[in-house]
Structure 1
Amino acid sequence: MSDAPMPTHFILTDESHVKLALVSEHVRYMARLLEAGAATNLTDDDLRPDAMTWWIDQIGRELGRIVESARWTGLPTAR
């Protein structure tokens, strides 16, 4: 008999899974865009702090909606 807890499985709706994949791709794109050297091709308007704040806020909201939509088979027991 194992003392290991049963694994918890998180379930996303199809829509949330697609949104998560899109957010993942968007974050990778933004990382490439802002890599050293790549940012030299951007204008100051592209890198304005308020524009970046808006983008980070949007990603945070989308991830929040995805997390809220998740269902699980059970939560691990606190030790």
Structure 2
Amino acid sequence: MSACGGPAQYEIRVAGVLDSRWAAWFGGLQISGQGEETVICGQLADQSALHGLLTKVRDLGLCLISVRRLDAGQAGDEAP
């Protein structure tokens, strides 16, 4: 497990559907739709990067559903 302030994998869920074209806006993170939600997933360098990502979510007016820090073993576990 990484230190609290260091790089870590995150999964951010928002209400609404964004397609993969938004990946550049979110720094190349993986964007995937799941029903009426969008999952933004990937590695962030530190807590500052996480807060920057959450600011982008807010600036788009998206409804934040959840933020999860993933353990190394969880990253990519939800692939079909």
TM-score, shorter chain, exceeding 0.5: no
| Larger RCO: 1 or 2 (CA < 8 Å, sep 6+) | 1
The structure richer in strand per residue is 2
> Please, what TM-score do these two structures have when normalized by structure 2?
0.28
Q: Normalising to structure 1: TM-score of the pair?
A: 0.28
